[in-house]
């Protein structure tokens, strides 16, 4: 895993690399004969966004991942964690300080003829041995980088899911607008038949009025669908950073059946990755807390120059010294013990967070899978319903015109039932697509399905 700052000198923490290399890999699958089979994953060159025109589903997801402020915020926190590692590594190097010391005593200070000494001091301090405390601080910083890395991936997954849902919703509303327009045309046709029969004296004026009322109702429904479509186009534009965004293309075939497709051990949801990385942070925090009461062996060297004649020992301008010191905390009001207890509680909380993330992912996948299977079965029934309502509509119209055994209300109701069946089928397909996204998200396969390159996220996406 790349570290955000000073990559050439920031090594170590390979456990963090291994943890976060377990990101989602996906091969979209469809269940055809009861056994899952792999479908080819979506193949599109990374971050290839069109300059104008409608967005495909892949392009919309990538545009959102490339421009959304949430991703930039997560990346900034990842870079911040990288600088934290640089700060921890500074403990390996000597510390150089400069300052002024002033000392006053009731008697002449040993080696000086004055009770007051004022010196400019340049000191150098180097840790010789601290029982691994500095190394523990570096490892904790590595763990924090790993956690921030996982949180970036989780943010990308969230944004990608939102963008994909908005894109599917725009496509869904577009189809509903088309169906609403067809319904208006169908009811207007019936209104024309009613007017024609009224002119011939074959029907009452009330039939025409009722048909016109249905026309107006259908037109209002069409306007409602158009408003919803505009709203979702605006939502998609906000997510992708393109206010005039519209959809183009169709839903990828690989999205069908992903809830029942086989997954690999490497398919881990980003939320679970983040929880596991959080546990590593807690482990390193506990390790560091247990080292805080250990002694430290320090090498100290100093060069001092008196600021006046009375502050110079034996008339010498410069006073030098080297000292080896061993210090250890004896009592700090119980601070270290409290930190150790807090670290233990943090580790327990991290374990619970992992269990919760895994449970939520498993629960969401099972619920989505059950609902998806139900929608698959419902799809066939809805398709048959369209055929039957279409045939009913045509028969009613024939009986109305030729036999007079059907009323205009029967025709209007049959027309409405037919278009309601068509809308139900479109809604069912949309629900299946949304459930497929839920499965990809909670299986940890969303980024792989949309071919989002993680390296480009961390190297080319800048606030």
Compute the distance between CA of residue 132 and CA of residue 140 in angstroms, rounded to an integer. Answer: 12
The verdict on residue 127 lying in a domain is no
Residue 166 neighbours by CB under 8 Å, 6+ apart = 60, 232, 235, 236, 239
The verdict on residue 331 lying in a domain is no
Q: Residue 147: its pLDDT value, please? A: 95
The verdict on residue 2 lying in a domain is no
With CA atoms as reference, report the closest residue to 187 among 413, 377, 29: 413
Residue 444 neighbours by CB under 8 Å, 6+ apart = 23, 24, 267, 268, 269, 270, 272, 273, 361
Compute the distance between CA of residue 104 and CA of residue 108 in angstroms, rounded to an integer. Answer: 9
Residue 170 neighbours by CB under 8 Å, 6+ apart = 229, 232, 233, 236, 246, 247
Residue 49 neighbours by CB under 8 Å, 6+ apart = 55, 59, 62, 63, 66
HSE-CB of 328 using CA atoms within 13 angstroms: 9
Residues in the chain: 463
The verdict on residue 182 lying in a domain is yes
The DSSP letter of residue 251 is -
Compute the distance between CA of residue 316 and CA of residue 306 in angstroms, rounded to an integer. Answer: 9
SS3 129: strand
| Per-residue tens of pLDDT for the chain, all 463 residues | 445 544 333 333 333 323 333 333 322 333 333 333 233 333 333 333 344 458 899 999 999 998 899 999 999 999 999 999 999 999 999 999 999 888 888 777 777 767 788 889 999 999 999 899 999 999 999 999 999 999 999 999 999 999 999 999 999 999 999 999 999 999 999 999 888 878 877 777 888 999 999 999 999 999 999 999 999 999 999 999 887 767 887 888 888 888 888 777 778 999 999 999 999 999 999 999 999 888 999 999 999 887 887 767 766 778 888 999 998 888 888 888 999 999 999 999 999 999 999 999 999 999 999 999 999 999 999 999 999 999 999 999 999 888 778 888 999 999 999 999 999 999 999 999 999 999 999 999 999 999 898 888 887 544 4
Q: Residue 14: its pLDDT value, please? A: 33
Question: Is the separation of the CB atoms in 284 and 81 below 8 Å?
Answer: no
Compute the distance between CA of residue 166 and CA of residue 58 in angstroms, rounded to an integer. Answer: 12
Alpha-helix runs per DSSP H in 1-129? 14-20, 57-67, 69-89
The verdict on residue 209 lying in a domain is yes
The verdict on residue 378 lying in a domain is yes
Compute the distance between CA of residue 457 and CA of residue 149 in angstroms, rounded to an integer. Answer: 11
Q: Residue 222: its pLDDT value, please? A: 95
Q: Residue 269: its pLDDT value, please? A: 93
Containing domain of residue 81, as a range?
27-89+132-293+338-459
Q: Residue 18: its pLDDT value, please? A: 33
Tell the burial category of 387 from Cβ atoms under 10 Å away from its Cβ (0-12, 13-18, 19+).
Answer: exposed
Tokens of 150: 């996982």
The verdict on residue 397 lying in a domain is yes
Could you give the number of structural domains in the chain? 1
Q: Residue 315: its pLDDT value, please? A: 66
CATH of the domain at 162: 1.20.1600.10
Tell the burial category of 322 from Cβ atoms under 10 Å away from its Cβ (0-12, 13-18, 19+).
Answer: exposed
Tokens of 347: 């580790």
The verdict on residue 316 lying in a domain is no
């Amino acid at each position: 895993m790349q570290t955000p700052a000073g990559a050439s000198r920031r090594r170590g923490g390979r456990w963090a690399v291994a943890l976060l290399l377990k990101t989602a890999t996906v091969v979209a699958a469809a269940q055809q004969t009861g056994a899952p089979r792999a479908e080819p994953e979506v193949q599109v060159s990374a971050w290839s966004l069109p300059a104008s025109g409608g967005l495909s589903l892949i392009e919309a997801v990538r545009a959102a991942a490339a421009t959304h402020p949430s991703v930039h915020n997560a990346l900034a926190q990842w870079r911040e964690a990288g600088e934290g590692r640089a700060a921890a590594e500074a403990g390996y190097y000597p510390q150089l300080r400069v300052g002024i010391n002033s000392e006053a005593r009731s008697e002449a200070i040993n080696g000086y003829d004055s009770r007051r000494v004022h010196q400019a001091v340049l000191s150098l301090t180097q840790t010789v041995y601290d029982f691994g405390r500095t190394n523990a601080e570096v490892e904790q910083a590595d763990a924090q980088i790993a956690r921030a890395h996982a949180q970036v991936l989780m943010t990308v997954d969230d944004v990608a899911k939102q963008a994909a849902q908005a894109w599917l919703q725009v496509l869904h509303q577009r189809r509903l607008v088309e169906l609403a327009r067809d319904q208006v045309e169908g009811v207007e046709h019936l209104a024309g038949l009613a007017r024609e029969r009224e002119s011939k004296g074959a029907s009452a004026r009330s039939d025409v009025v009722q048909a016109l009322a249905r026309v107006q109702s259908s037109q209002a429904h069409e306007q409602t669908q158009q408003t919803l479509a505009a709203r979702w186009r605006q939502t998609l534009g906000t997510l992708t950073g393109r206010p005039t965004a519209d959809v183009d293309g169709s839903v990828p075939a690989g999205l069908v059946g992903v809830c029942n497709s086989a997954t690999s051990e490497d398919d881990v949801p980003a939320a679970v990755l983040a929880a596991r990385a959080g546990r590593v942070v807690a482990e390193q925090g506990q390790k560091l807390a247990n080292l805080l009461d250990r002694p430290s062996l320090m090498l100290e060297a100093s060069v001092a120059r008196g600021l006046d004649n009375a502050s110079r020992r034996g008339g010498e301008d410069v006073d030098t010294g080297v000292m080896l010191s061993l210090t250890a905390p004896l009592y700090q009001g119980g601070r270290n013990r409290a930190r150790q207890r807090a670290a233990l509680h943090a580790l327990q909380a991290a374990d619970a967070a992992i269990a919760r993330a895994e449970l939520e992912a498993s629960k969401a996948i099972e619920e989505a899978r059950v609902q998806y299977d139900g929608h698959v079965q419902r799809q066939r029934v809805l398709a048959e319903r369209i055929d039957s309502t279409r045939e009913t509509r045509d028969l009613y119209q024939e009986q109305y015109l030729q036999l007079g055994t059907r009323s205009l209300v029967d025709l209007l109701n049959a027309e409405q039932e037919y278009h309601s069946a068509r809308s139900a089928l479109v809604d069912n397909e949309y629900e299946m697509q949304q459930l497929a996204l839920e499965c990809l998200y909670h299986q940890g396969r969303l980024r792989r399905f949309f071919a989002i390159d993680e390296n480009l996220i961390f190297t080319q996406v800048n606030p």
